[in-house]
Amino acid sequence: MNIFSGLFFVIWTVFSGFMTVMFAGSIHKDVQSGSSSSWMYVILLFPLSFVLIGLWGLYTSFLGVKSGFSKKIRPKTEFAKGTTLGVFFFGLPFFVAGVGVMVFLSIVPVVKSVLAMGWDRAPAEVTHSQLKTNYDSDGNTYKADVHFRYTYEGQVYHSKTYDFQIMSTSGEKGHRKKVDSAPVGSLHDAYVNPWNPNEAVLSVKLSWVYLFTFIFGAIFAAVGGALVFSPFFKMDKGEVATKTLPKPKLTPGPVVLRCRYGGPVAKFIGLFIFTIIWDGVVLILFKQDAPVWFKGVFGFFAVIITFAFGHSFLSLFNPRPVLQASSKHARLGGSLNLNWKMRGQVQKIESFTITLIGQEEATYRRGTDTYTDRAVFHQQVMAEYPHGNIPSMGTCAIKIPRVSMHTWKSQNNKILWLIKVNGKIRKWPDINEEYEIMILPY
């Protein structure tokens, strides 16, 4: 059990659950009164997904994940991956900002609105009603500025709080609606705090702004929190000595092969998150009075990262190969049938090859460094179209060499068998995908 990550996910789940319940109640009320359609319930999927993330986090924290490590203690041990101090401080502002947005702009207003639903009611008259506009070069923001007078237990009070939404937003329509619903001279029933009659609001309705703010803040908090807390998340109880790799599951029958490193989509998502964070930091830096050289360094890397992101984005529109093998494993001396299909604009591809590769991987760990070297010992072209005219689908048979080495993995040394798909596309990122297959002993 990991205490730190468990605590984090308990708090995450509680807050997400609270938000879900509050908005479910509000939507249910609107649907019952006929002011909203039943389709509104679908919006609950957003906060619900955060609840599911929290539950998953609780599961992995308290029940753990099988690591396949033996429990013997040995002086030379290996450790889970962590973050450096730099990444900690890099993630900290995002985490703090995200939590701040979630708590002060979403959770607190929602809690206050719910509590205010139980306050006393008092007759109120609107004395001032105006749409306040904050002009900004990045875009205007608006806020409903409504003042009212109310009488509570024989005394007259004044309040400037329409509801608990403290933030100005770019949504003019929503704020205009508030102003239109409370013109000067209109009469309403205000909600008055019985313990502090100076505090009163005209509306306790839960706004969609709270939900979107919660989601927005949660994303920042999650990304920042992952960077800040990953050393604690990765600290488990187990002791690592010799690593016993789990036996592979042999899957009979045809199987669609999966790209070894998650494919272009996973690469794009990873780069997207990283680019957003890095470029966001750079934008803030450029608005501040940081030294020029400092801005230059960050800006330079921002350009590189943005280019890499652009490259990965373009790769998404590449024709994608889908490989189906007759089985995920074959034996030395045996064969494997491969059906391949190309999705997308195949005519863009100038040349195309599918190759079977046998590869050694050796990792040397010494001091604080780790080096991994690779060497190809077998290369066999299975399908080749060097001059274009690539068909949208095809089939080929792989003959696995008999006198060779099967798939084998130990802690520092591996023998891998891969199917590599390469496609050259003019003025566009090339196709370079790898699929691992298992070759069993003869």
Partner 1 sequence: MIRPKDNPFAAHRIDKLAYRFRDDSLADMKERLKQSSYRGAIVGPYGSGKTTLLEALSRDFKNNGYDVRCIFVNSDQRNFSWAQLGYVCRNCSVKTMVFIDGADWLPRWQWMLIKHFSKKGGGLIIACHRRDYLPVIKECTTSSAVLQDCLEELTGQTDGHLQQAGRILFKKHSGNIRNVFRELYFLAGQGEKKL
Partner 2 sequence: MSEIFINLRQLSFKPNDEIKGSVHWVLDKEPKDIAVRLFWYTRGRGTEDLSIVGSVSVPPKQRGEADFHFSIPAGPYTFSGKLISVIWAIECVANPSDECARQEITVSPTGEEILLGQDYDKT
Binder among 39, 79, 135, 293 for partner 1 (CB under 8 A): 79
Query: Is there binding between residue 66 and partner 1 (CB under 8 A)?
Result: no
Minimum separation from the CB atom of position 434 to partner 1 (A):
21
Query: Is there binding between residue 228 and partner 1 (CB under 8 A)?
Result: no
Strand-strand pairing, 408-409 and 413-425: antiparallel
Query: Is there binding between residue 241 and partner 2 (CB under 8 A)?
Result: no
Looking at the Cβ atoms of 149 and 234, the one nearer to partner 1 is 234
Number of residues this chain uses to bind partner 1 (CB under 8 A): 29
Looking at the Cβ atoms of 71 and 387, the one nearer to partner 1 is 71
d(CA 193, CA 121): 9
d(CA 44, CA 20): 6
Binder among 183, 238, 248, 391 for partner 1 (CB under 8 A): 238
Query: Is there binding between residue 88 and partner 1 (CB under 8 A)?
Result: yes
Q: Which does 361 bind (CB under 5 to 8 A by kind): partner 2, partner 1, none?
A: partner 2
Minimum separation from the CB atom of position 407 to partner 2 (A):
9
Minimum separation from the CB atom of position 355 to partner 2 (A):
9
Task: Give residue 384's identity as a one-letter amino acid code.
Answer: E
The distance from CA 260 to its chain's CA centroid, rounded to whole angstroms, is: 20
Q: What is the DSSP letter of 248?
A: P
Q: How many CA within 13 A on the CB side of residue 97?
A: 14
Q: Comparing C-alpha atoms, which of 426, 234, 431 is closest to residue 318? A: 431
Cα first-last separation, the chain: 42
Where do the DSSP E strands lie in 259-407?
320-325, 329-331, 335-343, 349-366, 369-385, 393-399
Minimum separation from the CB atom of position 358 to partner 1 (A):
16
Query: Is there binding between residue 365 and partner 1 (CB under 8 A)?
Result: yes
Residue 404 in contact with residue 335, Cβ under 8 Å?
no
Q: Which does 160 bind (CB under 5 to 8 A by kind): partner 2, partner 1, none?
A: none
Q: In which residue are the tokens 């298992």 written?
A: 438
Q: Which does 238 bind (CB under 5 to 8 A by kind): partner 1, partner 2, none?
A: partner 1
Q: Which does 7 bind (CB under 5 to 8 A by kind): partner 1, partner 2, none?
A: none
Query: Is there binding between residue 370 and partner 1 (CB under 8 A)?
Result: yes
Query: Is there binding between residue 234 and partner 1 (CB under 8 A)?
Result: yes
Q: Comparing C-alpha atoms, which of 416, 423, 337 is closest to residue 382? A: 337
Give the x-and-dash track for 380-409 against partner 2 (CB under 8 A).
xxx----------------x-x-xxxx-x-
Q: Which does 377 bind (CB under 5 to 8 A by kind): partner 2, partner 1, none?
A: partner 2
Q: How open is the CA angle 309-310-315, to the nearest 5 degrees?
A: 95
Query: Is there binding between residue 364 and partner 2 (CB under 8 A)?
Result: yes
The distance from CA 131 to its chain's CA centroid, rounded to whole angstroms, is: 36
Task: Read off the tokens for 242.
Answer: 């010799």
Looking at the Cβ atoms of 366 and 387, the one nearer to partner 1 is 366
Q: What is the DSSP string of 411-439?
A: SSEEEEEEEEEEEEETTSPPEEEEEEEEE
Task: Give residue 77's identity as a one-letter amino acid code.
Answer: T
- Binding residues for partner 2 (CB under 8 A): 332, 358, 360-366, 373-382, 399, 401, 403-406, 408, 410-413, 415, 440-442
Binding site residues, partner 1, CB under 8 A: 73, 75-85, 88, 231, 234-240, 364-371
